[in-house]
Structure 1
């Protein structure tokens, strides 16, 4: 399978964590089983970081022709040292990427670059909280929103300050490979997956996996991959070398929900998704470990879904 390409666009005086956070997410995704091709481009011959560190193996913009399936991530930079002398080189490059439908993202202050290129006109967007007012004042056609981790507007994504590039990158991985895999990547990075309150993602994964307890993660992963089987508390406890009582207490204290409730909601969520995709009632019930087609039919009716009986 061809690797999806992620192209990191570097301005001079780029903020290191704005770049490295997102890079690490896609690198770890590869370590976890879904590799991406990582490329680095810049309109500058020798870009460096705002902290004084330089780079090698950064390609000129002309070395890469952006394709619609690519992800382009522009990392934030020190605006006080932003050199606009080469705007005529990089603006058409970014405009082309956005115009052909590639996913174009900004981290932190890089929202100003997307704005200069006209990519945010009429769109909702965000940036570092310390720059939201300036972004709105300099670019009145934008709809700058505060207190959001990241915002998606068609194929254009903007994220807030610094570490939110990690949140955005995890969201992109989630769009490609699902929430369970995104949580695997987040767990390997020992970070939380955060979501804005306005996020459309209300998955059971997102509601109850914002923690870093490896034992509870192991139980949740096992449940996710064995919904079709009979899940026994004693076996789950033995898997993480705990007593049933301790696991029950730990799981509830960490997630805010009991193991039984977690299994039930996860099964129901997966079942509703499969029914939406047009799968047959009996197959869905078996796949999700739901006891009877009658029970599943009642759930589907409650959700307003018309289930296929056969």
Structure 2
């Protein structure tokens, strides 16, 4: 049975993007034709984000009766504000939800809550890269995987945090409504490409965006959204109003990659995703800017 209810669990000190990223995916799913009922619960009457923003329309935990079809997403929180003296306020509820067969997900540091409740014992899991060692040390019965965007173990999902909550949510949408629909939601959100849990937290796209040069960011955004077209350095240079020679130098010094290498890496990454989603080779080749299926096959074979 397909669930249409997503229950977001908020600790006090919840990280805003850990919550909002996943919320937006399911909201946009509704805009694209597959609506979800979104509920927000907390053991606290007035939880606030780690950045100080407070919430009003949040229900107490006992206001929602959990079923096996529900999806519960526990958003990451500031661990320094996580009051373990309040375990009795939320832990039995989360354990009971898991016992009903509901899907339980954590974003970022919320993996610590799932671990504390014993839900992750014997399971593979992950969290933000800065906390993987600490999670493994505190909970030795877990198998904490590093450098993963998210990990699925039965009906338990753990994600690396922040933006990877979007990847996890898109995966859940894809499980229910198919790859083509999830791709449409991602496109509607202007997300470059949906990544899955087998990938590194450091994708080609993200590795080359760890800089603050707005002109290079603008070029990278253009490339990512026009891979199906012929891309010339002259056109990119005109886009940011500098000479092709200066753009070539600036791009390489800023990202460590040439423009040509960057374009090919993104085309490879996108093609692999679309092929994995069972799209036809001819369509994938066209969508990724290759001359035809044969060129795509040669390129991917060379890239192995």
1:256 to partner: Cα distance: 1.5
| In 2: Cα distance, 1:238 partner to 1:52 partner | 42
Provide the rounded CA distance (Å) in 2 between the counterparts of 1:207 and 1:285.
24
State the shift of 1:105 in Å. Answer: 0.5
Bigger Rg, structure 1 or 2: 1
Report the equivalent of 2:15: 19
Number of the residue aligned with 2:73: 72
Task: Give TM-score scaled by structure 1 length.
Answer: 0.66
Q: CA deviation at 1:19?
A: 3.1
- Aligned CA RMSD, in angstroms, stands at 4.6
CA distance in 1, matches of 2:52, 2:204: 43
Displacement of 1:226: 2.2
C-alpha separation between the residues in 1 aligned to 2:249 and 2:213?
A: 13
TM-score by length of 2: 0.67
Q: Distance in 1 between matches of 2:235 and 2:168?
A: 34
Q: Is the 8 A contact 1:43 1:90 kept in 2?
A: no
1:42 Cα deviation after fit: 1.9
Change in Cα spacing, 1:71 to 1:218, as seen in structure 2 (3 Å) is: farther
Residue 22 and residue 4 in structure 1: after superposition, are their counterparts in 2 closer, same or farther (change >3 A)?
A: farther
Residues 100-139 of structure 1: matches in 2 within 5 Å?
A: 100=102, 102-105=103-106, 107-108=108-109, 110-125=110-125, 128=131, 132=135, 135-136=138-139
Residues 66 and 279 of structure 1: is their aligned pair in 2 closer, same or farther, counting only changes over 3 Å? same
Does the aligned pair in 2 maintain the 1:106–1:114 contact within 8 Å? Answer: no
- Deviation of 1:262 (Å): 1.8
Aligned residues: 278
- Structure 1 residues not aligned, in runs of 5+: 187-194, 305-310
For 2:168, the equivalent position in structure 1 comes to 172
Query: How far off its partner does 1:117 sit?
Result: 3.1
Structure 2 gap segments, 5+ residues each: 174-181
User: Which of 86, 90, 94 is the matching residue for 1:91?
Assistant: 94
Task: Determine the C-alpha separation between the residues in 2 that align with 1:278 and 1:49.
Answer: 40
